[in-house]
Amino acid sequence: MKVYPDLEKLKEPKLKIEYNSFKKNEESLKQKDKIHPFNNKVEILIPTSKEIDFNIENDTTYYVSNIPLGEFLTYDFVNKYIKNEEFIAFSFKQRIDNDDVFAITDGKLYMNLTKDTYTSLGLVGKSSAIPINKQNRFVIEINLNENSYKPEGKLYEHVQWCMQHTLNKKFQFLIYSSKELENEDLSDIKKYNIKNENTTFKNILIPSLKHITQPTKLSPIWCSHATDIFEWLGMLACQSKRVLGDYRVEPYYSVYKPPTPFKPGDVQSISYTGFIPSSFIRSIIKELRQIIIKERLPWASIILWGFSDSPITWNKKEHGYLMNGENDAAYLIFGTEDQPTPEITADRYLLYQTISALDIY
């Protein structure tokens, strides 16, 4: 019996790069594979020394609850919150490679279970699609929006029995609901607000984007330039000294340099941390495009951090962790850098999606 996973069966982690237009693809932000249903952190990077007034009207409240999964699955709760509202929940303390992990989004329950839990639970699912997990992890999906999910229905009654008799221990959940949760609907809820921080990064070596705007085709050279910009955005988000204009380091320690050509300037950082729904991200993109147009900015970026132990990744496909659990993304929206004409539309963008070695996507 093998103790360690067969690494030969694994794919390499991937970075997917998409060049697109908001106008051309008007439904792009509504497609399920473009934005995770729940995110841990969002950082907005704006290349300007001017203080930007960034207003998001979305609700910033989320909840933490230590409850059995079954409290979400009662007929009254599903009808009040899950069926007709934006509702997401995630068991954030569980580890996707070792524990039982749960998520609810778009009216569906996603369960990624250990073999022991699956065999004792009594609900029908399927083996993990991840090659190294086929024998020891199982996936169950239940559509809570189905009309048959109601008292006296076969599925409903079976789920209720399993929640009461076999899967009745408590888990810690992050919860967002567009309809305010009432204390009597869940046995234990605590309310939090998404945390907002604003920072100015001074004297940053900001690269030109001329190599990646309006490509005639996505050639290997273009992809290399686009990847370099993604790496630079990551260095900036990590507040690395390597992107500072006045920082000097011996090549023995680091050979990194920002993509050329570059020039020094300031970058405004606006970040949000908590349990962030996709509707919040869509509002950020809409507001940022308006700011790019109003301030005539060369570009702006949105970096999204998903949860590394989420049971689902892009397009609701199965997610795994193993060595890194990458589950992140970034939008790079072009402004004057892309359109030297008087009219700026902030229409074209790059979307970067990181894909873990275990992701089925």
Closest CA to 277 of 33, 35, 22, 29: 35
Give φ, ψ of 221 to 5 degrees. Answer: -65, -45
Task: Determine the pLDDT at residue 216.
Answer: 67
Task: Determine the pLDDT at residue 276.
Answer: 95
Q: Which residue has the tokens 């680091």?
A: 254
Q: How many CB atoms lie within 10 A of CB 28?
A: 18
Task: Determine the pLDDT at residue 342.
Answer: 59
Closest CA to 160 of 169, 172, 151, 147: 151
**Going by C-beta distance under 8 Å and a sequence separation of 6 or more, which residues neighbour residue 186?**
65, 67, 71, 77
Task: Determine the pLDDT at residue 1.
Answer: 40
Task: Determine the pLDDT at residue 27.
Answer: 57
Token pair for 239: 């507040």
**Going by C-beta distance under 8 Å and a sequence separation of 6 or more, which residues neighbour residue 95?**
101, 309, 321
The pTM assigned to this predicted structure is 0.90
Per-residue pLDDT of the chain (361 residues; tens, 9 = 90+): 454 555 565 667 788 898 888 877 665 555 545 788 889 999 999 999 988 888 887 778 999 999 999 999 999 999 999 987 899 999 999 998 889 999 999 999 999 999 999 999 989 999 888 777 778 899 999 999 998 899 988 999 999 999 999 999 999 999 999 999 998 899 889 999 999 999 999 999 999 998 898 776 778 889 999 999 999 999 999 998 888 887 776 666 777 888 889 999 999 999 999 999 999 999 999 999 999 999 999 999 999 999 988 888 877 887 777 777 788 999 999 998 766 555 678 888 999 998 877 777 6
**Which one-letter amino acid corresponds to residue 89?**
A
Task: Determine the pLDDT at residue 139.
Answer: 93
